[in-house]
Structure 1
Amino acid sequence: MRYWFVLLMGLLTTASVAQSPFADQLAKHRETYKKDLLATAGGPLTEAGDLSYVQFYAPDSTYRVTATVQRIEKAEPFDMPTYNGNTRPHVAYATLSFMLHGKPQQLTLYRNLNVIRIPEYRDYLFLPFKDATSGTETYGGGRYMDLRTGDIQHGQVTLDFNKAYNPYCAFKDGYPCPIPPKTNTLQIPVKAGEKTFAKDH
């Protein structure tokens, strides 16, 4: 009996060690993200205590998937509505097709035509989405993910939903946060990344 217990503990320890680099890397990413929320001029948080209300799902590597990238040629620029009533010029860049928990999914990747004029963001790609958790466990206005053109290799890109984050509108009203297009709504729950901000605003 003890042999099986020791063997089981060994397997669990091995699994824990195998997952720790992923969890450690994500923890560092989230700490940097929270610091930026507080330090960015004009950002939504001004008090250090507010960081305690920034919540995340536990790290889950099953939400880190490989997507096939299909470039959208000759896409027409359009004005993406924002939650404060304004618009932001975007253009569809590519269609991302992937499997998430055994179900085929598809999202559209965009370029913000204002942002890419800034030299350090000229390769920036924008992925806004909603899912079955939006409005309950996560912000009802959807969440975002950031990518770079260089992340796409051989027609594929890694999507890590553990890094999905809230727009500024989730923390404070009045920001021009793009509204995820209806076509970027996943019908399944994405229990990864940032949760709803736990402080009323």
Structure 2
Amino acid sequence: MLKNRFFLTGLFLLALIVLYYTFFDGGNITSSAGLDESINPETYRQQVDVQRKEKDHFLQTDAESPVPNKSSFKGLVYFKPDPAYRVVARLEPFADKTQKLVVRMSDGSEEVYDKFAHAVFSLNGEACRLLIVKLQNTYSILFRDATSGKETYGGGRYLELDPAKLTDNHVILDFNGAYNPYCAYNPTYACPIPPAENTLTIPVKAGEKYKEHQ
């Protein structure tokens, strides 16, 4: 059975870099959190829409696409881009850098990830804490929230982080980039299941929604 690690890692990280230099003042660090959050909301929404169109094109045309019937694929469904779901999180690294997490896969197998840090942040007025894991050179958050199994995929969604932005003790989490695993499109793939601690009680109405047979 095929296993997907994470979806479109290279494309996603490239998009993060583009967004960073589009919206940040030449890379200057100006905010109290050590990150410049000043963005133009309308420009931001336009950039997110462009990324989503590029992803649809990949799913419709690329040989690596998990979509089994590309001719009937009409595109993904999303929440509208919302800068409010782009937040600064404080990183709480593990003192013991050798800590591991055994992650259960959707096919019953297991994979071992490195525990990197906890991301602590506020979203919609609620205090949140999510575990960041590392697999090879990919840093990710596997999470569920109050939309899981309703508006979004029941198996949870993923958020990938740019390693270059993890060198300080803060990081930007942009939930507009939250996406479904391959197994949401095709059951022949096995996907990592979010750990229980990464379940948010609030709805994260950002990123990719889920529509069966989309």
Q: What TM-score do you get using the length of structure 2 for normalisation?
A: 0.75
Quick one: which amino acid aligns to residue 133 of structure 1? T
Q: Which residue of 1 aligns with 2:43?
A: 21
- Gap change, CA 1:55 and 1:176, over 3 Å in 2: same
Matched, 1:173 2:184: no
Greater helix proportion: 1
CA distance in 2, matches of 1:100, 1:196: 22
Q: Is the 8 A contact 1:87 1:176 kept in 2?
A: no
State the aligned residue count: 174
CA distance in 2, matches of 1:20, 1:153: 29
Q: Which residue of 2 aligns with 1:151?
A: 165
| Secondary structure at 2:103 match in 1 | strand
Matched, 1:139 2:146: no
Q: Which residue of 1 aligns with 2:107?
A: 84
- Gap change, CA 1:59 and 1:82, over 3 Å in 2: same
CA distance in 2, matches of 1:154, 1:71: 10
Deviation at 1:48, TM superposition (A): 4.2
| Secondary structure at 1:23 match in 2 | helix
CA distance in 2, matches of 1:85, 1:132: 24
Q: Which residue of 2 aligns with 1:51?
A: 74
Q: Deviations over 1:154-195 (max 9, x none)?
A: 311111101100011111213120000000000000001000
Q: Is the 8 A contact 1:55 1:198 kept in 2?
A: no
Q: Which residue of 2 aligns with 1:110?
A: 133
Q: Is the 8 A contact 1:133 1:190 kept in 2?
A: yes
Deviation at 1:40, TM superposition (A): 4.6
Q: Is the 8 A contact 2:143 2:200 kept in 1?
A: yes
Q: Deviations over 1:65-123 (max 9, x none)?
A: 000011113242233111011112211101000000111100000011xxx2xxxxx3x
Quick one: which amino acid aligns to residue 127 of structure 2? P
Q: Deviations over 1:33-70 (max 9, x none)?
A: 22333415262344143133x10001111111000011
| Secondary structure at 1:80 match in 2 | strand
Q: Which residue of 1 aligns with 2:124?
A: 101
CA RMSD of aligned residues (A): 1.9
Matched, 1:130 2:144: yes
In structure 2, stretches of 5+ residues that fail to align are 1-39
In structure 1, stretches of 5+ residues that fail to align are 1-17, 117-121
- Gap change, CA 1:40 and 1:128, over 3 Å in 2: farther
Q: Which residue of 2 aligns with 1:186?
A: 200
Q: Which residue of 1 aligns with 2:213?
A: 199
- Gap change, CA 1:161 and 1:45, over 3 Å in 2: farther
Matched, 1:63 2:77: no
Percent identical: 34
